[in-house]
Structure 1
Amino acid sequence: MKIGLIVPPDTPVTGGNFVSAERLQRGLNHLGLNAHVERFHPHLRDYDVYHAWNAVQVGQRLLHQGIDPEKIVVTWTGTDLWGDWAKDPGPIRHTLSSLRHQVVFTPNARKRLLADAPAWEHRVQVIPPSVDETMFCPADSSQTRDWPPLVVMAGGIRPVKRSAWAIDLVQSARKTLGIDFQLAILGPVRDGEEWERVVQAAQDKPWVQVMGEVPKEQMGTWYQRATIVLNTSRIEGVSNALMEAMSCGALIVASNIHGNRYLIEDGKTGLLFDTPEELIAAFRLTLDHPQEADEMRKNARLRILSRHLPSHEAQAYALIYRQMAWSLCSKGCGV
């Protein structure tokens, strides 16, 4: 069985969809399935299954290109559900109505999708994403976190990530707490206007490092060094960066949105915030109560190990692919 894991055409190799697809590719190959990651373009290879990593940007395009709906499975990855679908589900629902296999990351995402497409009740299933816990692991006992405290923010620079706002938030924490927090922003530029906002916000602030795209093999070291891993997103599916950081035993401070609440139990596996004042309080707790912070770091790692293993993810998708293959064979053989 040949499986195409198709990501949006503009996805960088460190982008969430590409990282997810490559991780799944490795898991499927271990199961003996022939999987290949490919950016969408008009002349894709022939596959037995086309797995769209983003329902709107890839799923719709596969259908418009004439791919048999019975050969397509889509995973709703974040902005497609919480952005595109939330704004106007009608046209997307019409286009994707022929697809029998759709996947979301969380029960809440499934509930959100079915609120506007109740007829899809038996088409949508939940498969949690995973993280390679061997690549992303805690620092050994000889390593220490940076001082002054390092805040790491990982993810492509685009409006939904609100990277420029992160600079303002950390500046407020520096001023209010009187602590020389350093901020490292890691990730490729995905939107020119947001990049300009980041450049302007970072101007004359030597404590801000805008690192650009960082190879995934180096990300674990950044998470290990960080006092705090910060997420300021307006929309998330389930963040690969947060899962990787949690697997490394990092302390997460994240915006209080659906995707982040799935990973972060406030005060147990990390800290959530709605306002700048709540973020400052989270930063203060991290430094004033190191034992509580360490307990949250341990709980975050345990959360990943208990619910987000690559083998579980690969097995769940492999079952869908085999069901699709059996259905196609049954029709073709007249069963």
Structure 2
Amino acid sequence: MKIIIITPKFFPILSGNAVCTRRIEIGLKKLGHEVLVRTPHQINIKEIKTFLPDVIHGLNAYQSRVVQKLSLELKIPYIITLTGSDYEECLIDSVKYEKGLDKDGVKEITLNVMKGASYLVVYNHETMKRLLSLYPKFDNKMKIIAKGVPIIDHGNYSFREENFIDTHDFVFSLVSGIRPVKNNFCPIDSLGLLRKKYEKIVLTLVGPVADEEYDKELREKIKGLDWIRYVGGIPIENMRSVFLESDVILNCSHFEGESNAVIEAMYYGRPLLASKVNGNIPLIEDGVTGLLFEPENGDLFSKKAQDMIVDGAFREQLGKNAMEKSLQFINIHEPENYENLYLLSMN
């Protein structure tokens, strides 16, 4: 089978969609399929017609909406994986998503792409239930395919050494793209106050820039704060070191579809301090497989961050529980699940 995957971002840019696409691509190729990956800006219709795909797979209904046009031109079906911002921002909250396009226009485009898809994929039951309560007409085409085994690469990169972090420092790492929904400002003031008592605290900001204006504000905020390391985006082969050499992994998002960073942190047995939002709640049991806080509650964040600092045995147990939990929900059959869905859509 020949599959073309359309994704908003792809390597070398490291983003959630890029990581998911790469994982799916690797899995499908192992099954013997030919896979062509392109972003919407890389679409070359001549190249695609030469490739002769059997099916199109789009990640994010709004950002990869070009799949609908391709489907009509090539006369082949498409499926959509709903990744988070496409339903949270475009459908549920209906906030402005793109300059010059109002929220009603964004919502209409997103729904139209979803209507044209043979199947819609979500990552978990909670998301399916939530979406179908609002859009029951998609019941017959919505399927659950949980995320697969994280991409593991054993490179020689040393996260602490490369970022001048001492072995005795206590490292909180916020692993996420830099954009408003990821709430990158969240830990700065709270950890800054805690640092008066625990001077070994270091905060690292790991992830690519997805919003230039927001990034400028963030850089201005942390200017002169030598306990914060602005790491930015790094190659996927170095991410294992980020997780293993951090004491606590942070997720401060206002919403999540299902965070790759959260899943990977759990897979590597790292303690998590994460925002109590829809995408995180199914993965993290507060006090058992991680700690949860409301994104706007700085005091609660500080209290739970302090709990992490002072109790090493507690951190270790959280990480151990997280690893065990991750093995229950990580989907070892992700490539086969997509393969079956492609075949169904073609029939």
For the superposition of Structure 1 and Structure 2, which TM-score range results when normalised by the shorter chain?
0.7 to 0.9
Alignment root-mean-square deviation, CA = 2.2
Amino acid at match of 2:206: L
Q: Deviations over 1:120-179 (max 9, x none)?
A: 11110111112327548xxxxxxxx9422011111211111111233223213324x444
Question: Secondary structure at 2:178's aligned position in 1?
Answer: coil
- Matched residue, 1:52: 58
- Matched residue, 1:190: 210
CA contact (8 A) 1:164 1:197 kept: no
TM-fit CA distance, 1:91: 4.7
Q: Deviations over 1:213-249 (max 9, x none)?
A: 1111111111111111111111211111111122111
CA distance in 2, matches of 1:37, 1:156: 21
CA distance in 1, matches of 2:110, 2:244: 41
Task: Choose from 67, 81, 89 the match for 1:83.
Answer: 89
CA contact (8 A) 2:178 2:184 kept: yes
CA contact (8 A) 1:131 1:304 kept: no
Amino acid at match of 2:277: I
Task: Choose from 293, 296, 301 the match for 2:315.
Answer: 293
Task: Verify: 1:23 aligned to 2:23, yes or no.
Answer: yes
CA contact (8 A) 1:63 1:69 kept: no
- Matched residue, 1:236: 256
CA distance in 2, matches of 1:236, 1:12: 23
Q: Deviations over 1:230-285 (max 9, x none)?
A: 11111211111111122111111011111111221111111101111111121222
Task: Choose from 275, 280, 302 the match for 1:260.
Answer: 280
- Matched residue, 2:99: none
TM-fit CA distance, 1:92: 2.6
Provide closer, same or farther for how the CA distance between residues 36 and 64 of structure 1 changes in structure 2, counting only shifts above 3 A. closer
Task: Verify: 1:307 aligned to 2:329, yes or no.
Answer: yes
Task: Choose from 110, 124, 128 the match for 2:146.
Answer: 128
Amino acid at match of 2:183: R
CA contact (8 A) 1:9 1:39 kept: yes
CA distance in 2, matches of 1:9, 1:312: 24
- Matched residue, 1:156: 177
CA distance in 2, matches of 1:284, 1:9: 36
Question: Secondary structure at 2:280's aligned position in 1?
Answer: helix
TM-score by length of 2: 0.85
CA contact (8 A) 1:5 1:38 kept: yes
Q: Deviations over 1:156-215 (max 9, x none)?
A: 11111111233223213324x444310111111111111012111111100011011111
- Matched residue, 1:331: none
Aligned pairs for 1:81-230 (under 5 A) are 81-88=87-94, 89-132=107-150, 134-135=152-153, 146-175=167-196, 177-230=197-250
CA contact (8 A) 2:58 2:80 kept: yes
Task: Verify: 1:278 aligned to 2:300, yes or no.
Answer: yes
CA distance in 1, matches of 2:319, 2:209: 29
Amino acid at match of 1:63: Q
Question: Secondary structure at 1:260's aligned position in 2?
Answer: coil
CA distance in 1, matches of 2:209, 2:217: 12
Q: Unaligned stretches of 5+ in structure 1?
A: 137-144, 328-335
CA distance in 1, matches of 2:240, 2:33: 28
CA distance in 2, matches of 1:35, 1:130: 17
- Matched residue, 2:67: 62
TM-fit CA distance, 1:117: 1.5
Provide closer, same or farther for how the CA distance between residues 168 and 11 of structure 1 changes in structure 2, counting only shifts above 3 A. farther
Q: Percent identity?
A: 29
Aligned residues: 316
Q: Unaligned stretches of 5+ in structure 2?
A: 95-106, 155-165
TM-fit CA distance, 1:83: 1.2
CA contact (8 A) 2:8 2:60 kept: yes
CA distance in 2, matches of 1:287, 1:84: 38
Task: Verify: 1:8 aligned to 2:14, yes or no.
Answer: no
CA distance in 2, matches of 1:99, 1:68: 14
Question: Secondary structure at 1:56's aligned position in 2?
Answer: coil
CA distance in 2, matches of 1:289, 1:199: 32
Question: Secondary structure at 2:91's aligned position in 1?
Answer: helix
TM-fit CA distance, 1:292: 2.0
